[in-house]
Structure 1
Amino acid sequence: MSHTWTMATIPDQRGRVAVVTGANTGLGYETARALAERGATVVLAVRNVEKGEQAAARMTGDVTVQALDLTSLDSVRSAAAALRSRLDRLDLLINNAGVMYTPKQTTSDGFEMQFGTNHLGHFALTGLLLDLMLPVPGSRVVTVSSTGHRIRAAIHFDDLQWERSYSRVAAYGQAKLANLMFTYELQRRLAAHGTTVAVAAHPGISSTELARHAPALLRLPLTWLAPLVGQAPAMGALPTLRAATDPAALGGQYYGPGGRGEVKGHPRIVTSSPDSYEVAVQQRLWAVSEDLTGVTFRVVQPEPRTRSTASITPGGQYTVNP
C-alpha cells in the first residue's frame, strides 16, 4: 500500500455531502477545505458561528455553517434537526471536534468535559444523523481519535465522569479510547446494512490549538515541540481525509501517519491498542452511551461476543468483522 497518499490523491468529491465538526480551525478546517476544493458540499458544524463563517469565507466551493455545541445535548439535537431539514442525504460525517487536557469541568448535561464532548456528543450526533446516511452507498462515519488513546487509557465504568478523582491525561485517554470503541462497534452494527461504514483516524502530532487547555507544564512542550517533531495541520488532516475518501478503505479500519511512531508522515492503515478491540467493553460502552444521551441507533445489533472481532489480512489491514 502506498505511503505517499496526499491531498492530490483525494478523488473527485462532486455530488457528495459532508458534515465536519470543529471545522473552523486546525485539522477540521483543513479537512473541510480539502473536501470542498474537490467538489463536495460541505457543512462546517461549529460552536462559534462567527468563526465558522470566517472559515467558510476562506474556502473555495459550496461551504455553509451549522451551529453545533457538542457540550450540550440540546444543541446536538437542534443541530441534527436543522441538518435533517436542509439535507436530503449525507455521504460523510466527520467527527473531528474535540477538547484535550481540560481542567476538571462538566458539560451542560453534567458529563466530564472530555468524555462528554469527544465521545458522547459525537455518539449522539451520529445516531441522530444516521438515517440520512444509510440509504447512501459508500457513505462513511469517520471519527478522529488520537495516540492519546494508549496513554493511561481505560473505560472507567465505575466513575465515567471522574467524580471521585480527576486526571486530565487519563480522562483524555478514556475519551479517545471511547472514540475507537465507538467506531468498531458502530461498524459491526452497520455491516448488515451494506451501505455505510465506520472508519477511524488520528493525526499524529500536529500543530493545532488542541492543547490550549493543557496545564503550563504540558502546554509549553506540546506547543514548542509539535512544529519540530510533528507536522502541519494540512498533513495532520490526511489520515482523516484518506479514511473519508480512499475508495479502498474498509469499515473498521484506522488510519494514521506512516512515519516512525505514527508521529508524522503520509497516512496508512495503523493498529490501535489491544484494549480498543475488547468487544465486550465496546458493547457495554455503547449501552451506557445510549442511556446517557437518550439516543438509540436504528441499526442491527450483532450477537454479543466476548472476544475481539478484529482481524488482520496478510497485507496488514485490520478490519472489524460482523
Structure 2
Amino acid sequence: MSGKWNEQHIPDQRGRVAVVTGANTGLGFETARMLAERGARVILAVRDVEKGKQAAARITGDVAVQALDLASLDSVRSAAADLRTAHPRIDLLINNAGVMYTPKQTTADGFELQFGTNHLGHFALTGLLLDRLLDVPGSRVVTVSSAGHRIRAAIHFDDLNWERSYSRMGAYGQAKLANLMFTYELQRRLAPHGTTVAVAAHPGVSNTELIRNSPAVLRAPVARLAPLLTQKAAMGALPTLRAATDPAVRGGQYYGPGGRLEVRGYPELVESSAASHDRDVQQRLWTVSEELTGVTFPVR
C-alpha cells in the first residue's frame, strides 16, 4: 500500500454499524460507499429518502436508508428513535451533512439555517444516539467541519440566529466553528468512559454540490476553476474516513488534506484555529445547545 493514507488503508469494517448523515451525495456518499465496501452496515441518514434509495442502489454492500432532516428537531428525534430501535449498538456516527452560504432562512424550529442544520441538528442527533455508542469498543463520533471555521468565524451568543444582520459567510463560519468546539467538548466529556472518542475532519476544497448556494456572481467562476482548485469528493472524504477508521486516531484530533493550505491532498493530522480551542466558549456553547435543542447527553 502507498505510504499516503488512502482508501486501501481502511481496515476491515465487518460487524460494524455506521450512521452517515447527508450520505446520498458528495462527501457523505463517498464515505458511506467506502465503509460499506469494507464490510460495514451503513445507514444513509438523509433528508430526501428517494434520493437516499437511489444512492443506496449504487453502493455495493449492506446499506439502509433512514429519513433525517437536520433542520427539524422533530425529524431528528424521530430518526434517532428509529435508529435506536433498529440498532442496539452503533460503532460510527459520522456527522457529515451540511448546508453552506445559504440565503437567510430558518429551520423548522426558528434557528438560522446553517447553525441549526450544521451544528444544532447534529448536536441533538449525537446526544440522542450516544448511549448506543458508549459501550462499544472503538466507537467514534466524527463531525465534519471546514476550513471555513477560520473565516469571519465566532460564536455570536448575542445573536446566534443572525436576526440583526445576516452574512452567509459569517453564519457558515460560526456553524463550522461550532462543529469543532462541539467535538472538543464532547471528547472531554467522553474521556473518562474510555471507549467512545470524538474526532473532527475537514475535506479541504472538494468538488461537491455544497457550493450551489454561493452568491450567483461566484458560481460561474467557481465552476470554471473547480477542476484546478478542488479535489474529487472521493479524496475529500478521506479525512473523514481516516478519522473514523484509522486505529492510530485519538480523541480530540482533527484531520484534513495534507497539501498546501489544506486545500487538497491525502489526509493528515492538522490543527484548527486558536479560537476553536477556547474552553470557556466551548462549554458555553454546549450549555446553550442543550437549552436550544432540549437534548442532554449521558456524559457530563
Q: Same fold, TM exceeding 0.5? A: yes
Aligned match of 1:290: 290
Shift of 1:224: 2.7
Residue 291 of structure 2 aligns with an amino acid whose one-letter code is D
Q: Secondary structure at the match of 2:130?
A: helix
Residue 129 of structure 2 aligns with an amino acid whose one-letter code is L
CA distance in 1, matches of 2:222, 2:185: 32
Residue 287 of structure 2 aligns with an amino acid whose one-letter code is A
Aligned match of 1:168: 168
Q: Secondary structure at the match of 2:79?
A: helix
Aligned match of 1:303: none
Shift of 1:229: 1.6
Q: Secondary structure at the match of 2:242?
A: helix
Give the unaligned 5+ runs of structure 2. Answer: none
- 1:87-236 to 2 correspondence within 5 Å? 87-236=87-236
CA distance in 2, matches of 1:154, 1:202: 18
CA distance in 2, matches of 1:75, 1:224: 37
Q: Secondary structure at the match of 1:93?
A: strand
CA distance in 2, matches of 1:271, 1:122: 22
CA distance in 2, matches of 1:228, 1:293: 41
Runs of 4+ aligned residues of structure 1 deviating over 6 Å after TM superposition are none
Residue 64 of structure 1 aligns with an amino acid whose one-letter code is A
Aligned match of 1:254: 254
Shift of 1:3: 6.3
Shift of 1:10: 0.4
Aligned match of 2:37: 37
For each residue in 1:248-283, what CA deviation from the matched residue of structure 2 results, as whole angstroms up to 9, or x when unmatched? Answer: 000000000000000000000000000000000000
Aligned match of 1:305: none
Q: How big is the alpha-carbon RMSD for the aligned residues of Structure 1 and Structure 2?
A: 0.9
Give the unaligned 5+ runs of structure 1. Answer: 301-322
Q: Secondary structure at the match of 1:192?
A: helix
Q: Secondary structure at the match of 2:205?
A: coil
Residue 97 of structure 2 aligns with an amino acid whose one-letter code is A
Aligned match of 1:310: none
Whether 1:49 and 2:49 are equivalent positions in the alignment is yes
Q: Secondary structure at the match of 1:283?
A: helix
Q: Secondary structure at the match of 1:106?
A: coil
Which is richer in helix?
A: 2
Whether 1:84 and 2:70 are equivalent positions in the alignment is no
Shift of 1:96: 0.2
Shift of 1:213: 1.1
Contact kept? 1:3, 1:258, Cα under 8 Å:
no
Shift of 1:217: 2.1
**Count of matched residue pairs:** 299
Aligned match of 2:62: 62
Q: TM-score, normalised by structure 2?
A: 0.98
CA distance in 2, matches of 1:224, 1:287: 43
Aligned match of 2:17: 17
